[in-house]
Structure 1
């Protein structure tokens, strides 16, 4: 989330002796709520990144398995002279089909890899923006004035 899109007031209304306490309290409450939402968004982005990492690993494993299978099929071709025309034709069709399956699997694996990489990049950018906002908000909250005793207002002090 971009911190520039948040409605952060640049100043608070001045009262007789200081800032309007209700306005400051409301601002701090809104900031805390926004922090909670950002933390939830960050956690969801991390979970999504973990899911995509698992999918990516599964795609890589499947791709490796298919490569081993293809190498085994290509590495041990049947001798066409030892078989009849009908069997030779069946072998050619099987090879063609196997090549098509491997090509499709490679394309699917590449597409999954590209999608996972793009989502991971977007997730990393979102997490950096959230971290920047949280750091800024924590800084603002650290500057929060000490709470006054009940019943006392800045204007009455």
Structure 2
């Protein structure tokens, strides 16, 4: 028969480390893993006990089979009168001993299986109860610690608010003093800057008046020079234009005279041509066309 593993002690107390507003998750998870491991060990022990019961049941079946075979052999021996009487008595004794041994084995196997199941169930119940009690105790401790931390946090908050108010008041006072000092310094600087600016403005106005007078004189001189130069250039251009106009007038007169002379010569040529044609008589058609063309050309001015 296989022996079940020794179950862990379920009465061992475990104290969890409390943290702010909760519990140490790592520590609780490790404890839960340990409980799960113990539970698995108990289940494994129960399975081993069940396997042992199965082995004992198989052994019992084998013994019963042997007993049946022995009974059959005994029956054959009884039916055979040739067997000695002593052998018959020994067989009876062996059968009785076998039945007693089988009965003892069955009772022992059933008792072991029952004890193993009872121990496993009891350990599982104790483990569950211990886990539940540990969880309740842990929750109670966590709640108590949370209340303590809340109270401590409230005290710290009140102290921090008081310290903050004191710091704000001191900062406001220091700021007011610094602002007053800065305003005084700023007023002095503004007055000095205004005085310096006024002096610079007066000096700039004086300098500007002198510069304006000098620039005005230079501008008037430049304007007079420009006016004289412009007048001389204008007179020169007018004289040149008048000379060119006279030359153009002369050339126009000569052109008119030349055109008149050409017209007179053309008229004389036309008259001479008419006289010649009259003397020659009526011209042929080709000559008439040539004469008409010449006549047309003679009518156009050169």
TM-score (structure 1 length as normaliser): 0.62
Q: Does 1:74 align with 2:64?
A: no
The equivalent residue for 2:60 is: 56
Cα gap change, 1:3/1:54 in structure 2, threshold over 3 Å: closer, same or farther? closer
Contact 2:60 2:102 in 1 (8 A): yes
For residues 3 and 44 of structure 1, the distance between their equivalents in structure 2, rounded to whole angstroms, comes to: 13
Contact 1:63 1:106 in 2 (8 A): no
The equivalent residue for 1:41 is: 45
Contact 1:49 1:120 in 2 (8 A): yes
Aligned partner of residue 46 in structure 2, secondary structure: helix
For residues 7 and 52 of structure 2, the distance between their equivalents in structure 1, rounded to whole angstroms, comes to: 22
The equivalent residue for 1:108 is: 98
Aligned partner of residue 81 in structure 2, secondary structure: coil
The runs of 5 or more residues in structure 1 that have no matched partner are 79-90, 146-153
Cα gap change, 1:122/1:38 in structure 2, threshold over 3 Å: closer, same or farther? same
Task: Count residues with an aligned counterpart.
Answer: 134
For residues 45 and 127 of structure 1, the distance between their equivalents in structure 2, rounded to whole angstroms, comes to: 7
For residues 61 and 35 of structure 1, the distance between their equivalents in structure 2, rounded to whole angstroms, comes to: 39
CA RMSD of aligned residues (A): 3.7
The runs of 5 or more residues in structure 2 that have no matched partner are 137-144, 150-302
For residues 93 and 21 of structure 2, the distance between their equivalents in structure 1, rounded to whole angstroms, comes to: 75
Matches within 5 A, 1:4-153: 5-9=9-13, 12=16, 14-15=18-19, 17-78=21-82, 91-92=83-84, 95-135=85-125, 137=127, 140=131
Contact 2:50 2:113 in 1 (8 A): yes
For residues 24 and 88 of structure 2, the distance between their equivalents in structure 1, rounded to whole angstroms, comes to: 75
Contact 1:3 1:129 in 2 (8 A): no
TM-score (structure 2 length as normaliser): 0.36
Q: Which runs of 4+ in 1 moved over 3 A?
A: 1-5, 10-23, 135-141
For residues 10 and 88 of structure 2, the distance between their equivalents in structure 1, rounded to whole angstroms, comes to: 55
Contact 1:66 1:102 in 2 (8 A): no
For residues 13 and 78 of structure 2, the distance between their equivalents in structure 1, rounded to whole angstroms, comes to: 68
The equivalent residue for 2:266 is: none
1:144 Cα deviation (Å)? 6.6
For residues 8 and 55 of structure 1, the distance between their equivalents in structure 2, rounded to whole angstroms, comes to: 40
Relative contact order (alpha carbons < 8 A, sep ≥ 6): 1 or 2 greater? 1
